Amino acid sequence: MIAIMPLAFLMGKATEEIALRTSESVGGLLNATFGNAAEMILALFALYAASTTTDPETAENMIHLVQASLIGSILGNLLLVMGLAFVWGGMHHSEQKFSETQVSSNSSLLLLAVIVLIIPTVFNFTVDGTAGDDGVEKLSHAAAIILLAIYGLFLLFQLKTHSHLFATENVHHEEPQMDQKDAIILLILATVLVSWMAEVLVHSVESAAEQYHLPYIFIGVILLPLFGNAAEHFTAVSVAAKNKMDLSFAISIGSSTQIAVFVAPLMIMIAWMWGVPLTFEFGILETIAVFLAVSIANLIAADGKSNWLEGLMLLSTYAVLGLAFFFHP
């Protein structure tokens, strides 16, 4: 886990360099996408392990690990990353502003993701037996297709048809410190190394859980995203100190949005092709945690302003949820 962190920092640095040559919307998207590379790779290796193992218990543990890591990535970016950015930025500036359009569009997508999490869980409670499991699986596949289509249309809206709504008033003219080609090469190399370490990490999870008596849900929701989100931590917090809050916000909430409406449904589609029964049916605690995280993040960011106290509120929420997952049997 520790070895992934410096690579994640390099990924964040490289994407920020590339972002200096584009708009903040594109820069935030790049940071979110490559910052989420570690989570995507972890999920893929866990799904592959679930599809190839002959032990049903191991397969089930890997499926739960994927679900927990997806939930943890959403919580980590919404509460921890955005909270740290608000606190660190607030220590350098009394009040900071960011695009309300960005808040509104991402918040709507996150609420849609919460609906997709709640419906399969409620559905399974209303139907008994294998019919309920089959129904949840089919419902999850259909919902995954819908979410992928919505995310594609959102990118079209953000980057093409309504890009003017996401344009920032104050453009920070900062000179890049490395050549664009070098930044791209660094980004690719760091991603490849992260993918190799992710495979090692997935295979070591089961033994680590037994050795340290840690619940799988805590490892998946808190520990794996904590290290996997290191790129977002570094970049979002550092640009917040420079008062680039549109970029910082695009990285934190944009990453959560991407996990919820792109990475999660993509993993479900890949699992479907590999014959792994991954669905949108999460546990009650995970579902409520995402609902609460989205609610408080949307409430705090709705006015387009931030300060260090609001950041502490987000961090406190993350700490309480982390304790809940740690003590979960």
Q: What would the pLDDT profile of 184-197 be if each residue is shown by its tens digit? A: 888 788 877 876 77
Q: Is 39 helix (H, G, I), strand (E, B) or coil?
A: helix
Phi, psi dihedrals of residue 96, rounded to the nearest 5°? -125, 150
- The overall longest dimension of the chain from CA atoms, in Å, is 61
Ranges of each domain in the chain? 4-326
Q: What is the mean pLDDT of the chain?
A: 83
Strands in the chain per DSSP E: 96-97, 305-306
Q: Which residues contact 252 (CB under 8 A, 6 or more apart)?
A: 77, 78, 81, 82, 85, 232, 236
pLDDT digits (tens, 9 = 90+) for 49-95: 899 988 888 888 889 889 988 999 999 999 999 999 999 999 999 89
Which CATH number is 4-326's, of 1.20.1420.30, 1.10.40.30, 1.10.10.60, 3.40.190.10?
1.20.1420.30
Which has the closest alpha carbon to 268: 24, 29, 47? 47
Query: Which pLDDT value is given to residue 1?
Result: 60
Q: Is 306 helix (H, G, I), strand (E, B) or coil?
A: strand
CB 30 within 8 A of CB 203: no
CB 257 within 8 A of CB 106: yes
Q: Which residues pair with 305 in a beta bridge?
A: 97
On the question of pLDDT at 222 being above 80, the answer is yes
CB 112 within 8 A of CB 256: no
Cα separation values, 247 from 38, 82, 232, Å: 20, 11, 11
Which of 106-115, 172-181, 183-192, 307-316 comes out lowest in average pLDDT?
172-181
Which of 19-28, 120-129, 142-151 comes out lowest in average pLDDT?
19-28
CA count, 13 A, side-chain hemisphere, 239: 31
CA–CA dist 25, 46 (Å, integer): 31
**Overall pTM > 0.75:** yes
